[in-house]
């Protein structure tokens, strides 16, 4: 199947998943598995969520698929993860070896995307994806990952968060 068609199918599966699962936690768990299984260049897929009430704020590793990472707690002034959460912007890094902010998770990682998750306009966490391929996160990929973050934000809002 051409990549563009696969992305379309995965997008449909993601929205069906969001309807089918009862909680945001279930959605995140199933979503990381779906993305890891179906998107062939997504070699590590995980959520980091802001720890409620933590001062200074810290991102804590949540549901993930892929090898265990040494970075289970990331302050907002560290890493690509910290940059995305503190700016509220999607961060795409085509070559992690050239980005001084990058915190290494696997020696095989070549590119990374981090997309913030918002609840009522505030960042509550983010979806982080690493690829063993350089520049894996094209515009089309960015849109899919941003769609995932929106689905999770809406589910969290629906649960009254």
Q: 100 CB contacts (<8 Å, ≥6 apart)?
A: none
Which of the residues 79 through 98 are near ligand SME (CB under 6 A)? 79-81
Q: Between 35 and 105, whose beta carbon lies closer to ligand SME?
A: 105
Contact pick of 71, 75, 146, 150 for ligand SME (by CB under 6 A) = 71
String of contacts with ligand SME for each residue 93-132, x by CB under 6 A: ---------xx-x------x---------------x-x--
Q: Between 14 and 32, whose beta carbon lies closer to ligand SME?
A: 32
State how far the alpha carbon of 24 is from the alpha carbons of 67, 69, 132, 143, 147, in Å: 23, 23, 28, 20, 15
Angle in degrees, CA 22, 25, 29, rounded to 5: 105
Q: Provide φ and ψ at 37, rounded to 5°.
A: -70, -40
DSSP symbol at 21: -
The residues that touch ligand SME, with contacts defined as CB under 6 A, are 44, 46, 69, 71, 74, 79-81, 102-103, 105, 112, 128, 130
């Amino acid at each position: 199947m051409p990549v563009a068609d696969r992305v379309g199918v995965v997008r449909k599966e993601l929205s069906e998943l969001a309807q089918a699962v009862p909680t945001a936690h279930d959605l995140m768990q199933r979503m990381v598995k779906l993305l890891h299984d179906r998107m062939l260049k997504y070699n590590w897929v995980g959520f980091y969520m802001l720890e409620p009430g933590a001062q200074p704020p810290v991102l804590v590793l949540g549901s993930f698929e892929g090898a265990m990472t040494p970075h289970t707690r990331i302050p907002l002034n560290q890493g690509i993860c910290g940059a995305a959460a503190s700016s509220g912007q999607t961060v795409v890094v085509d070559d992690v070896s050239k980005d001084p902010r990058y915190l290494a998770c696997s020696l095989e990682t070549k590119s990374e995307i981090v997309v913030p998750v918002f609840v009522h306009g505030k960042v509550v966490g983010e979806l982080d994806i690493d690829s063993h391929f350089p520049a894996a996160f094209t515009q089309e990929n960015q849109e899919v990952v941003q769609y995932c973050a929106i689905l999770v934000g809406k589910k969290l809002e629906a649960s009254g968060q």
